A = this chain, B = another copy of it.
Amino acid sequence: MTGPVFDAAFRETLELLLAWRRDVRHFQTRPLPEGVLDRLLEIACRGPSVGNAQPWRFVRILSPERRSALADQVDAQKADAGKRYAGERKALYEGLKLHGLREAPEIVAVFCDEQDGAGHGLGRATMPETLCWSVVTAVHTLWLAARAQGIGLGWVSIIDPAELNTLLDVPQRWRFVALLCLGYPARETETPELVRHGWQERLDPATTRLVR
């Protein structure tokens, strides 16, 4: 069986997609077209998973109360994490917008079902964390599929996972992985926001490689 051949033009556009992906924190408030989010979540399920366990669980947040509670919690965590910085770095930190939870048209929480039997434990006897990593690749798949439609995604990780299951009324055996904002970005750019604000430059890829 021979699969599709991906030509040079596609590969070039794929590289553009990767280059323009971005972690978005500034969103327009206009809604996504009906059905688009469901379709994106379907595509996300094409991410790889260890033992084909497909442990991803997506929770679309529609309740304004829950959205507001999430935003409040993240704001509190941002303030708390800021205590570790001082001087110029602290000023930089305070100028960063770290989430669009109050204005993005869609909020999705992502979990890993750690006790589902799917996959039968294959591939994770020595590295059980690979189950959770499968959910991470599903989020990345969603990210790319969204960006290909002009939709931005922001991954919020400054949150305490401990109380999320209760807040969102999901099974306690689900492990929290990500809180995502989705919507049309206020601006598009090839430069990561953290580079633009002087927080962290790009590293030279050559410095990340060794030969053994």
Task: List residues of chain A with CB under 8 Å of any chain B CB.
Answer: 1-6, 10-11, 13-21, 23, 38, 41-43, 45-48, 50-54, 56-63, 66, 77, 80-81, 84-85, 89, 93, 96, 98, 109, 118-127, 129-130, 132-133, 136-137, 140-141, 143-145, 147-150, 155, 157-161, 168-170, 187-190, 192, 194-195, 199-200, 202-203, 205, 208-212
Contacts and interface: CB of A to CB of B under 8 A. Distances in A.
Given A52-B192, A57-B210, A81-B126, 11 more contacts: A1-B188, A11-B148, A45-B208, A52-B200, A54-B202, A54-B208, A66-B212, A127-B157, A127-B158, A136-B140, A144-B144
Most B CB atoms within 10 A — which of A43, A66, A120, A157?
A157
Contacts of A45: 203, 205, 208
Nearest to A85: B120
B127 A161 contact: yes
Say how many copies of this protein the assembly contains: 2
A51 B93 CA distance: 11
Contacts of A93: 122
A189 B4 CA distance: 10
A204 to B, nearest CB: 9
A4 B16 CA distance: 8
A49 to B, nearest CB: 9
Given A45-B208, A52-B194, A141-B18, A11 B149 contact: yes
Contacts of A126: 77, 81, 157-161
B149 A194 contact: no
Contacts of A203: 45, 54, 118
A195 B48 CA distance: 13
B62 A212 contact: yes
A120 B88 CA distance: 13
B51 A200 contact: yes
B4 A59 contact: no
